[in-house]
Amino acid sequence: MSEFMGLVTTPLLDLWHRVAERSPSFIAALLFLFIGLVIARALRTFLEILLQKIKFDEYLSRIGMHEIMARLGLGKSPTYALTFIVFWSILFVFLVSAAKVLNLTVISDVLERFLVFLPKLLVFTLILFGGLLFGHFIHQVVCNSASVNNLRGGSTLAKFIYIAVLIFASLLALEQLGIEMAIVRSSLQIVLASVGLACAIAFGLGAKDLVEDMMRNFFNKKK
């Protein structure tokens, strides 16, 4: 009976001793996480109040940000998305510190690598959203100009420009992640230049009669 009790209690005592030895580390790790959670929540709340006062969502709604986020499947407001990123970025830093305190080298190394990659991911997101906003703005300008001047094909041209802006923004954003896109970008530039040349030739041929009439009227007036 004593041997059986020894087999049961010995592993439990070993586990207890290990926990007791590491209890300061556990307490320190929990303290890091608690402090990180408090700071992250405080900054998120402060940022939410600040963005509401400057009417951040209202301004982005005017330039089509809500529509873009809806297309990307992000149903939340821009304020929510921004504060969400800030909250988890701060908490992630303290999570790395907690893993180091517990001597979890494998986990801390993985988290540190992701932490180094995080700024690149942020730049990637900013460039992509900037491209979406700029493309949407140019699309609206071209469509409105074509509508005011009663020009045909304005909608098609606006879509073409919008897609071109998105492609270039995507390529630039992917380069921030360390993905080499030089060959793809060069090929795309050749394709777009060819399409632009074709459009210019088509426009020139289509306006041939109009230019001929304008030149004839000009020389008739000179005479």
One-letter amino acid of 47: L
Q: What is the pLDDT of residue 212?
A: 56
- Residue 177 confidence class, pLDDT cut points 50, 70, 90: confident
Which of 61-75, 81-95, 191-205 is the least confident region? Answer: 191-205
Question: Looking at the domain assignment, is residue 2 inside a domain?
Answer: yes
Reference 44, options 93, 89, 83, 88; nearest CA is 83
Hey, how many other C-beta atoms are within 10 angstroms of the C-beta on 165?
20
- Does residue 128 sit within a domain? no
Q: Is residue 141 in a domain?
A: no
Higher pLDDT, 39 or 82: 39
Domain count, the chain: 1
Residue 37 in this model has a pLDDT that exceeds 80: yes
Predicted local distance difference test score (pLDDT) of residue 198: 52
**Better pLDDT: 200 or 79:** 79
pLDDT of residue 45: 92
Predicted confidence at residue 38, as pLDDT, reads 92
pLDDT value at 88 more than 60: yes
Residue 161 lies in a domain: no
Q: Which of 73, 71, 74, 81 is nearest to 51 (CA)?
A: 81
pLDDT at 39: 92
Q: How many residues does the chain have?
A: 223
Residue 185 resides in a domain: no
What pLDDT, on the 0 to 100 scale, is given for residue 159?
79
pLDDT at 32 exceeding the cut of 50 = yes
Mean pLDDT lowest among 51-55, 65-69, 129-133:
65-69
Whether 28 maps to a domain, the answer reads yes
Structure tokens at 97: 């510190």
Domain assignment of residue 213, yes or no: no
Q: For 87-96, what is the mean pLDDT?
A: 84
Evaluate whether 91 touches 48 at the Cβ level (below 8 Å): no
Q: Above 50 in pLDDT, residue 210?
A: no
- Residue 94 in domain: yes
Q: What is the mean pLDDT of residues 12-20?
A: 53
Domain boundaries, position 5? 1-103
pLDDT tens sequence across 97-154: 887 777 777 777 777 777 777 777 778 777 877 787 787 777 777 777 777 766 666 6
